[in-house]
Structure 1
Amino acid sequence: MESERGDRVYSAKIYYTSNFRTHAETVDNIISWVCDENGGVTITFGDQKNPMIIKRHKTDIEDVHIFKVNPAIF
């Protein structure tokens, strides 16, 4: 599955297996994400002019939750 965020704002919570260096990670301002044919995930996030990329292999991932954020205006 691949998605482009368009004008929506997405975040993700990545849960890792016990052999990974951390239990969970939150990623904000997702630009796009893609799952590969082997069950891994690549998430592009941050500033669109200077994006960062997270690539995780399926053996490291317990679960990934990607959700739409409704930014509040104060």
Structure 2
Amino acid sequence: MLHETWKDKEPVKKVEVVHTDAQKFKVSDMLTVGKQYDVVNETEEYYQIIDNSGLVGGYFKTYFKEV
């Protein structure tokens, strides 16, 4: 399973959080505005990053800007 190696994988790129204004879910506990995160996987709509919990989470690209 590919997702099991994401945490140990070399980051693809860095992104910075620009907002945490979510419509459905609360993301402010897992993302900090202004903080940079390593992207471990990327899809068309999502970035998979190691968030504030220390685990890999998937978030919409709209929360981020590329660094």
TM-score (norm 2): 0.39
Which structure shows the bigger proportion of residues in helix conformation? 2
Which structure shows the bigger proportion of residues in strand conformation? 1
TM-score (norm 1): 0.37
The structure with the largest alpha-carbon Rg is 1
